Amino acid sequence: MPSATELEQTLQRLVRRVAMMLQAEKCAFLLHDGEENQLVARAPSLGLAPDQIRMLRLPANSGLIGEAYRSGMATVIEGPKDFQNVGETDSAWMTRLNVRNLIVQPLVMERRDEQERVIAHVTVGVLLIINKRGNDQFSHEDLLLLNTMARQVTAAITNAQMYLRLAEEKEQLQATLQSLLAGVVMLEPTGHVSLINPAAAQIFGMGDDLPLHRHYSEIITNEAILEMLDEVFHQRHESHREIEVLLPDGENHDGEPRIFQAQTAFVRGEHQGANVLMGVAVVFNDITAIRNVERMKTAFVSTVSHELRTPLTSIKGFISTLLQDTEGYFDQSDRLEFYGIIDSECDRLQRLIEDLLNVSRIESGRALQMNWSTFNPLDIIQKSLQVQRAYASDNHNLQFNTHGDIPPLTGDSDKFDQILTNLVSNAIKYSPSGGAVIVDISSDDETLTVSISDQGMGIPPGKLNKVFEKFERVDNRDTRQAGGTGIGLFLVKHLVECHEGRVWAESTVGQGSKFTFTMPLQSHASMQEDAEE
Ligand code: ADP
């Protein structure tokens, strides 16, 4: 394909040759702009200043130029007698360009089918030949001569247009490939790399220096990818597989391998009527997130079953014991203790089921229904701590510190309770050897701040934000022993956000964690509700 400069030079040469052969002072061509339906002058030209070119834009549906464009017939303006018939639009630009006489030659392109038969004529623009030198006039011969040359000019212009369009398409394609999150590699039939986008370069652990025109076996080190490409090039069949890649440090991946779905495809094209192999495309899609969710869901189902089974086993055990005690072996206080355990295990089951229902509500995009009321947050905290004491061991020391006056809070008291219950029960659960579990509450005129700290196992820095995600658990022996579903903090975050607040965690592994949430005493949503009532 010729370069853009070569095309420009060819056009320049043609314009000059036309002007020379017809002995014209000026020569320019105007191309049709479909959007504006105008004929617009384009460089190169001869005898016209850049400004004059820029201003030369004429309607395609009226005037002298428009007429020649539409009819496909050349027009000649011979001199003063013709000027009288020229309309206002035309006389303006003709005066500007000092036109004495003129030929308007349409540039008609022939569209052909595969057998080279002409199937259509398309007018792409017009050629303007202005002022015969030496005060002379353009002749019939000039017109004939021009007619033959117009074909060459049209061919040169359509080439240039096609080139520009291809260049634009190529640029677009390249920009698309650059910004794609998927990795794309194109290989020649020999196995040499002809294209590689940044996402693919990252998968292969390459910098900005892209290894074009090298054989894939020289640059790819990942065994699975090599195996897949060998299969494509040696056994000649397309292939797809999941591969794991450890991306270089500094990427946001917690040092864990990313999982890619790699897919190869033969790229075929027509060449001289034959179907030929032009290369092989390889696309890498990052499916780590999908696989993670699948993994977490599987883990979730097994932990939920476990969490449901534990209280049920206990309930069943105590009830069976009571049923079998026909001889009154257990006294009243034993029985009361058993009933108490059954009661709290039922609460636990109910909470778990409610949590699951809330997650499914959030998942399906339904907002949680807020029952706004104004209440004293201290009462709820005290009540929640009271309940949680039943789950704490003798080694736990539950404390509650109020800092200054705490004004009433407008919120949903049940949800506020749920937030606290979740955070306090986590603090107890994840400090199996006991220690202080301290709830601090403070407030200024606008915001309530509550923090729950423990002296338990702590959370690794990389997981501090993640623990608020659905099904996310820190996976180790201690947490497995503690049991859980990984939805508590996800719900806490959502419930705090329903109050227009924020929740975060700070922690040192082995020393303890501190969860803090803040929320406005009066949220916008609650005020809106007031206004609507
Ligand atoms: P669950 O407790 O049911 O697993 P959560 O969403 O409440 O689910 O907590 C998510 C994870 O965050 C827990 O599995 C645990 O690894 C970690 N975590 C939560 N609270 C604490 C805490 N106070 N101390 C240490 N780890 C915690």
Q: Write out pLDDT tens, residues 83-121.
A: 777 888 888 899 999 999 999 999 998 888 778 888 888
**Total H helices, total E strands in the chain:** 16, 18
Buried b / exposed e across 116-154, counting CB within 10 Å, b at 16+? eeeeeeebbbbbbbbbbeeeeebeeebbeebeebbeebb
User: Starting at the edge strand that comes first in sequence, how are the strands of the sheet with 57-59 ordered?
Assistant: 57-59, 38-46, 24-33, 118-132, 102-112, 75-77
Q: Which atom of ligand 1 is nearest to the CA of 472?
A: 10
Straight-line distance from the first to the last Cα atom of the chain, in angstroms, rounded to the nearest whole number: 73
Whether 430 is in the pocket of ligand 1, judged by its Cβ within 6 Å, is yes
pLDDT of residue 153: 84
Using alpha carbons, select from 468, 527, 465 the residue that is nearest to residue 254: 465
Q: Which of 424, 426, 511, 513 to mutate to test the pocket of ligand 1 (most atoms within 8 A of CB)?
A: 426
Whether 456 is in the pocket of ligand 1, judged by its Cβ within 6 Å, is yes
For the chain, the average pLDDT equals: 88
Q: Which amino acid is at 35?
A: E
User: Per-residue pLDDT for 420 more than 80?
Assistant: yes
pTM above 0.95, yes or no: no
Indicate the SS3 state at residue 136: coil
- Cα–Cα distance, 528 to 185 (Å, whole number): 54
Eight-class DSSP state of 533: -
Whether 423 is in the pocket of ligand 1, judged by its Cβ within 6 Å, is no
Whether 488 is in the pocket of ligand 1, judged by its Cβ within 6 Å, is yes
Considering all CA atoms of the chain, what is the largest pairwise distance in Å, rounded to the nearest integer?
136
Q: Which of 480, 489, 492, 496 to mutate to test the pocket of ligand 1 (most atoms within 8 A of CB)?
A: 489
Close Cβ partners of 514 (under 8 Å, ≥ 6 residues apart) = 451, 452, 453, 454, 505, 506, 507
Nearest CA to ligand 1 atom 19: 426
Eight-class DSSP state of 368: P
Q: Which atom of ligand 1 is nearest to the CA of 427?
A: 23
Cis status, amide bond into 2, omega within 30 of 0? no
- Cα–Cα distance, 118 to 109 (Å, whole number): 10
Between vectors from CA 346 to CA 343 and to CA 349, what angle results, nearest 5°?
155
Burial class (CB in 10 A: 0-12, 13-18, 19+), 351: middle
Using alpha carbons, select from 347, 352, 341 the residue that is nearest to residue 308: 352
pLDDT of residue 57: 93
User: Per-residue pLDDT for 12 more than 90?
Assistant: no
pLDDT of residue 255: 66
- Quick: pLDDT tens for 139-191: 888 888 898 888 888 888 888 778 878 888 888 988 888 888 899 999 999 99
E-strand ranges in 7-63 read 24-33, 38-46, 57-59
- Quick: pLDDT tens for 249-262: 655 556 678 899 99
Between vectors from CA 248 to CA 245 and to CA 250, what angle results, nearest 5°?
130
Among 227-236, 254-263, 402-411, 495-504, whose mean pLDDT is lowest? 254-263
Whether 489 is in the pocket of ligand 1, judged by its Cβ within 6 Å, is yes
Distances (CA, A) of 34 to 31, 123, 165, 403: 9, 12, 15, 73
